[in-house]
Amino acid sequence: MANHKSALKRARQSEVRRLRNKTYKTKVKNAVKDVKVQIASGSTEQAAESLVNAVSIIQKTSSKGVIHKNKAARKISRLARQVNQTNVS
């Protein structure tokens, strides 16, 4: 455990940030899962709506610095490609 006053404060701040980041990451995972479930069920319109919601959540998470911007772009790209492939089929 930290001994210095500044190190104790840093540990407290890190714990608060870790918990906050955890909620954002969970929201991203749930949004991605929702899109994949809609794709698997074959409902293209609902999948497209879920994609719009997921893109919003992923971009917000990226803008807050919880996930890297390239990771966010990659997730959005892959989800959009999957939704578009269901529309073609």
* Residue 36 within any structural domain of the chain: yes
* Residue 41 within any structural domain of the chain: yes
CA dist list (Å): 16 to 27, 58, 68: 17, 21, 20
Which whole number is the average pLDDT over 19-40?
96
Q: What would the pLDDT profile of 56-65 be if each residue is shown by its tens digit?
A: 999 999 999 9
* Residue 69 within any structural domain of the chain: yes
* Residue 16 within any structural domain of the chain: no
* Residue 5 within any structural domain of the chain: no
- CA–CA distance, 20 with 74 (Å, rounded to integer): 23
Q: What is the count of structural domains for the chain?
A: 1
* Residue 81 within any structural domain of the chain: yes
Q: What is the pTM of this model?
A: 0.87
CA dist list (Å): 33 to 2, 17, 18, 73, 88: 39, 24, 22, 17, 21
* Residue 4 within any structural domain of the chain: no
Q: Could you list the residue range(s) of the whole structural domain that residue 80 is in?
A: 26-88
